[in-house]
Amino acid sequence: MIIRFELMAYCLIAGGVYLVVVNILWSMLERIIPTFGNFPKDLIESKNFTWAVSNFIIEFIFFVLMPSFLYSRFYAIMPFSGLRGGAAIGLLLFLFGMIPFAILLLFRIKIPVVYVLYQLLGLAIKVTGALAIIGYLYSL
């Protein structure tokens, strides 16, 4: 199987733009919703440009770069494609990758449930949207 680098580049650009837009909207929403209400002030990291860039790089690698590469390798043999196929893969990754970790973390550390649910919703939106974009672009 040959990797189509031009199509993968479109996926990386579109997924990166999607992550930037969602991160900006999510940060604006975080100012409205008091998600850090029960946390001690010394545990909350200040959000600055360096924090935003490092957060974007991590999310870009795991939500856009790796799925784009894997999708480019296996899209020819996948039984599903398009927007719904990408969204289904995103939800599958979310259900089997992120939710078990969050539940185990809640049992081990006393973290407010509101904060965990807020973070899980944000991650679900990001991973599902990014993979839906990748699936859509590979269906063209």
Q: Which two tokens stand for residue 82?
A: 């398009």
Q: Are 131 and 87 in contact (CB under 8 A)?
A: yes
Identify which of 34, 25, 24, 16 has the alpha carbon closest to the alpha carbon of residue 118.
34
Rg over CA atoms, the chain = 17
Q: Whole-model pTM above 0.75?
A: yes
The string of pLDDT tens digits covering residues 35-75 is: 766 677 777 777 888 988 999 999 999 888 888 888 777 77
- Check whether 85 has a pLDDT greater than 80: no
pLDDT in tens, 12-31: 999 999 999 999 998 888 88
The span from the CA of 44 to the CA of 70, in Å, is 35
Task: Among 55-69, 82-96, 105-119, name the most confident range.
Answer: 55-69
34: pLDDT strictly greater than 90: no
Q: What is the DSSP string of the chain?
A: ----HHHHHHHHHHHHHHHHHHHHHHHHHHHHS-TTTTS-GGGSPPP-HHHHHHHHHHHHIIIIIHHHHHHHHHTTT-S--HHHHHHHHHHHHIIIIIHHHHHHHHHHS---HHHHHHHHHHHHHHHHHHHHHHHHHHH-
The residue extents of the domains of the chain are 5-35+48-139
Q: How confident is the model at residue 78 (pLDDT cuts 50, 70, 90)?
A: low
- Of 58, 62, 114, the C-alpha closest to 106 is 114
Give, rounded to a whole angstrom, the gap between the first and last alpha carbons of the chain. 18
What pLDDT shows up at residue 2? Answer: 64
